[in-house]
Amino acid sequence: MNDKFSAISLFSGAGGMDVGFEKSGFDVLFANDIDPVACKTYDLNHKISSCCGDLRDYFDELFRHKGVDLLFGGPPCQGFSVAGKMDPEDERSQLLWTYLDAVKLTKPSAFVCENVKALAVNSRWTGVREEFLRRAESYGYVTAMLVLNASHYGVPQARERMFIVGVKKQLTKLSSEQLEQVLKRELSSRECVPESVGDLIRRLGRAGSEGNSKVCSAIITYAKKPVLRKSAYAGMLFNGAGRPIDSNGLALTLPASMGGNKTPIVDEDEIFNGTASYVGAYHEHLVSGGAVKSGLAPSRLRRITVDEALAIQSFPSNYILTGSQSAMYRQIGNAVPCQLAAVLAEAVKSVLSDVSYLKVA
């Protein structure tokens, strides 16, 4: 089996997907993103520099890498996300087709396209899915569409994402259905249980300490009209979209909008002193008919730090972020969890390496 494969990274952002694919033996030769801050972060952490700007302006450079082993990347997802406007005419949604243009131009042995779960399962995007797969097939690829939960692969975050994997028909014996089965089998063999968010934070240290210094100052106030759900960690007990995280469990999807009151909340006393959850107690109080509280929440509740968000996304502990604090949170929230990318990369590498899957031994 080959140990090293060449790759192109598109819509690279801060480089989370690249970390995972590089860890699994892919040598990234070209990277691109339009965000100059994310490009600077990428440059500080990878052996090549990200070509910053509109991808379409770099097609001549891309063509020089024709025949690369793998092309991977995640076109902007805001146009498809249930958290956004779900507008198919959103200019960012059109970049999905720019991604396929790059596939057609470079003719990689395989490609991996990442996006939000909604693109794979929402009936609103049926036409988009079918068109993407039709075009990929016309370019000579068998394809498999997967929805993966990062928490199944050691990431302490219940983050679900769609991945479309394509492999050149002329290289593989597999049909699209068989490719999906092989990838699922490879992925299943790599499943593992992640640590809890509380364990992760204890490992980093208290907010403000040397290893966990980039704190978020956004205040936490009680919601005037709480939205109650069965779980204390759903609904809305505090103002803003940043919901509390169960320290004994997993984070929900970290959004790119973190940095203000959309930054998730943790209970410092529960994590470091072993006291009972304040969020759980307040939720029980409300469910039992207790009065709604007002003003500032107790200081034991705080927003997660940049360092914690970075770790929840499974970035290396020495990863360097650039830009303002809000830009750091945005880069983290936009990233594919590194560990999820690494596991998927291993599965794709198996398909490209194992002679039982290939037409030519």
DSSP character string of 51-115: EES-GGGGHHHHHTTTT-SEEEE----TTT-TTTT--TT-TTTTHHHHHHHHHHHH--SEEEEEE
Task: Copy the structure tokens of residue 249.
Answer: 């469990």
Q: How far apart are CA 144 and CA 132, in angstroms?
A: 12
Q: Is 77 a catalytic residue?
A: yes
Contact 304, 271 (CB under 8 A): no
Q: How far apart are CA 126 and CA 17, in angstroms?
A: 26
Q: How far apart are CA 80 and CA 87, in angstroms?
A: 7
Pairing of strands 236-238, 222-227: antiparallel
* Largest Cα span, the chain: 71
Kindly give, in sequence order, each residue whose CB lies less than 8 Å from that of residue 171, ignoring residues fewer than 6 positions away. Answer: 109, 352, 358, 359, 360
Q: How far apart are CA 195 and CA 328, in angstroms?
A: 23
Contact 154, 118 (CB under 8 A): no
The catalytic residue among 39, 52, 77, 216 is 77
Q: Is the dihedral of CA 254, 255, 256, 260 positive or negative?
A: negative
**Residue 174 vs residues 25, 146, 232, 346: alpha-carbon distances, Å:** 23, 16, 46, 17
Which residues are part of the catalytic machinery?
Answer: 77
